[in-house]
Amino acid sequence: PYAELASELPLAQDLRGLPPALFTIGTLDALLDDNLYMYGRWIAAGNEAEFAAYPGGLHGFDLYPTTLAADARKRMYGFIRERIRGPVGVR
């Protein structure tokens, strides 16, 4: 039954034509390798992507009131802002 579902998994999909993505992860997150793999596939498909690994960050690190989380959120917000409004100062 799992083999039948394999083609439906995100890792098996055609990624061409997808929007820009920011892959944000802590270096202690169990999903680090998965993020690196998906980032590589995103780029290989011709999409825009950035990868940001935060030293010592666990899964969900960006949800906590820490300097590391604040740094990650600042980058996330900037990534989104630039793609919605253009570079800061340009409207």
Q: Whole-model pTM?
A: 0.80
Residue 3 lies in a domain: no
Residue 71 lies in a domain: yes
- C-beta atoms surrounding 15 within 10 Å: 17
Structurally, the chain folds into a number of domains equal to 1
Residue 11 pLDDT exceeds 80: no
The helix (H) or strand (E) run that includes residue 54 is: strand 49-54
Residue 14 lies in a domain: no
Q: Are 25 and 52 in contact (CB under 8 A)?
A: yes
Residue 49 lies in a domain: yes
| Region 21-41 average pLDDT | 97
The residue segments making up the domain with residue 40 are: 20-85
Residue 27 lies in a domain: yes
Q: Are 16 and 46 in contact (CB under 8 A)?
A: yes
Weakest-pLDDT range from 19-23, 24-28, 56-60, 83-87: 83-87
Residue 90 lies in a domain: no
Q: What is the dihedral angle through the alpha carbons of 22, 80, 69, 51, rounded to the nearest 10 degrees?
A: 20
Could you give the CA distance from residue 15 to residue 19 in angstroms, rounded to a whole number?
10
